[in-house]
Amino acid sequence: MARGGRPIIPTGGTAQRIQDQRNRSTHSIPLDKLIPYHRENVNGNPIFHDYAQEKLEQLANSLERDGQVENIIVFPSEQQPGMYEVLSGKQRTRAARLVQQKHPERNTLNATVLDLQAVKANTFALGDLTYVLTNVHRRDQLLISELGMAFEMQFQAEKHQGKTAAQGTDTLTELAQQNQTSPSFIKCARQFIPEIAIPEVIDLADSGSIPVSTASQTLTRMNKATQRGLIEMLKQASGQEELSSYCKKKLTTAALRALKAAYDTRIAAAEDAQSNVLTEDDTAFLFADAKPKTVFKAPTKQALQRVIPEQLWGDQKAASDYLVNAMEELKRYKERYGELS
């Protein structure tokens, strides 16, 4: 979904290329011949997360009750001959396998089979575009990192197809038009991908624990070593509190801008541009309102001499034991009779 609840619907030349392929005939494909798209992970990270079990079972119940409403989209696998890679419909395929467990005879799905050569041309440009646009269009409540990796795959696919400013529009503008969103949102989302942000920062963005727009211009613009250093400071300071809730209070828009200003100053003078450059002085303001640790201060010598018998003064262990026993006895008395009057 686009931000604001509008569905993302492909438009323009890309949509036409996808639709030209989708107009091909329908085939019934056995479930055991369907495999995930081999490019669905970027550097080992999935672009779209699988449905949780509860949501998957809901989809399976709908499929069992109503049957298949829309074709999945596949193409013949070059990596595994005889198999079909799923560009659109992976979750429906997973749900269909749950249905098959109850109804063994329901072992196929209707699929639109795209031409392998068309899919793989220009470094799988059409395959990537079909995979991204159909999944983004069908899903709601996508995480910012899912959108970021989807936009990045789409951006690279358009570049592989030769989309340039010389053809009348730049790639970012075309992506914004296709996805019915703004170029600024696409630029923002693309900051929360593993190549740019560390996992903890991506998790904070996905959970809504940091202001995403500001973080995309500040936190993710810092090198990864600095990101890690800042997160470690926050982890240590958070104590028993969950990091996400702690960061929601600490990493405000104003705080992130202040940290970025300090970072810019430090990095300009740094010998190693990939090192952690923020100092404790730079981050001290984050923890200025933290509750100070309680420091134990021992009673004075004069105070102890008033309550410990003189004959024990020269024996430290005996004096300590006397004091501990007296305090424990006083505690038991208060528990039984209440405070002394």
Domains of the chain: 12-189 (3.90.1530.10), 199-287 (no CATH), 301-337 (no CATH)
C-alpha 328: how far from chain center: 52
First to last CA, the chain: 69
State phi, psi for 120 to the nearest 5 degrees.
-90, -10
Look at residue 89 in the predicted model and tell me its pLDDT: 95
Q: In sequence order, which residues have a C-beta less than 8 Å from that of residue 300 and are 6 or more positions away?
A: none
Q: What is the pLDDT of residue 285?
A: 93
Report the C-alpha gap between 220 and 200 in whole angstroms: 11
> How high is the pLDDT of residue 334?
76
- What local confidence, expressed as pLDDT, does residue 11 receive? 43
- Residue owning tokens 């004075």: 300
What pLDDT shows up at residue 145? 94
Rounded Cα gap, residues 131 and 150, in angstroms: 9
For residue 160, the model assigns a pLDDT of: 72
pLDDT number for residue 164: 45
The predicted pLDDT at position 213 comes to 95
CA distance 200 to 333: 51
How do strand 41-42 and strand 45-46 relate by DSSP bridges?
A: antiparallel
Largest CA distance in the chain: 103
What residues pair up with 246 in beta bridges, in sequence order? none
pLDDT of residue 123: 86
Question: In what helix (H) or strand (E) does residue 75 lie, and over which residues does it extend?
Answer: strand 72-76
Q: What is the pLDDT of residues 160-205, one digit of tens each?
A: 776 544 454 577 888 888 888 899 999 999 999 999 999 999 999 9
Low-confidence residues in the chain, pLDDT < 70: 1-24, 162-169, 289-297, 337-341
